[in-house]
Amino acid sequence: MLIKQLSDQLPTTQIMFFRNFFALLLLTPWLMAAGVAVLKTQYLHWHFLRAMLGVSAMACLYFAWGNLPLAQSALLKQTSPFFIPLIAFLWLKEPLHKQVFAAIFIGFVGVYFILNPQQGSINLVVLIALLGALIGSFAKVTIRKLGKSENSKLIVFYFSLFATLISLPPALYYWHEVTVMQLIWLLALALTSTIAQLLLSKAYRLSKAGALAPFTYSSVLYAAIFGWLFWAEQISATTVLGILLICSAGILAMRGSRA
C-alpha cells in the first residue's frame, strides 16, 4: 500500500533507494550493540549476489505495485513458490517432488486467467511482475544457501548495504525533490519491510514452509481490501478465479517442496 501511495509521486528508483537506505539506518543500533566483528562472513559474494537479484526483483515488483490493482500485484509477487523448487533443484540439487509439478501447472493456469488474453491484449505490467517474481525466486534460493551459516540480521544488513549502493546511481539519475511527508512514507516503508524480513526469516526457522503458506497468501486478501478501501479498485471474476488458483497452487508447491 505504501509503495502504491508513493508511486504516483516519486520514481521507482528513488523509492527503492530510500527503502534500502532507511533499512540500513534502522539496523545501525543492532550493529553498534553487537560490534563490527559480527559482520564477519565467508559468504560476501553470496550476499552481493542476493542484493543484485533482490534489487532487480524489487524494480519489477515496485513498478507493478504502482501500475496494477493491489490484489493483483500482491498475488503476482506470490508466484515465486512455483519457481523456487525448480531453481533449488537445478542450482542447489535439492529434491523435487511430483506434487510441485501439479502446483506449477495449476499456478500458471491461474496466471493465464489474470493475463486474460481473451480481451485481445496481454498486460505487459503483469509480465514485468512475473519477471520480478522469477528473479526474486533466485534471491530467495540464495537465502537458503546463506541461512545455513548466517543469522537473519546479518543477511538483512548486507542486503540493505549492497542494495543501497546498487540503487543509488539510478536514483540520482532520476532524482526528484522529496517532501517531508514523502520522507515519512518512505521511512514507514523501510520500517515495515525490515520488520517483515526479520519476522519471515524467524518464522521459516521455526516452522516448515508448507505450514506457513496460508499465512503468506493472506497478504493477497489484505491487498484486495486496502485496494478497495483506498483506491476503489474492483476485481473481475476472471481475476478472482486466477487468485484462487494461484493461492492454492502456491500452498501446494510450498508443502510439496518440503514433503
For residue 21, the model assigns a pLDDT of: 95
78 pLDDT band, cuts 50/70/90, is: confident
pTM: 0.80
Residue 141 confidence (pLDDT) above 90: no
The pLDDT mean for the chain works out to 82
Query: What residues contact residue 36 under an 8 Å CB cut-off, 6+ apart?
Result: none
Q: Does the pLDDT at position 139 exceed 80?
A: yes
pLDDT tens, 22-33? 999 988 888 878
The three grid cell numbers given for residue 186, joined into one nine-digit string: 518512505
Q: Residues 186, 24: contact at Cβ < 8 Å?
A: no
Cβ pair 242, 113 in contact under 8 A: yes
Confidence of residue 59 (pLDDT cuts 50, 70, 90): very high
Residue 119 pLDDT exceeds 60: no
For 255, the grid coordinates are: 508443502
Cell of 103: 502446483
Residue 208 is predicted with a pLDDT of 56
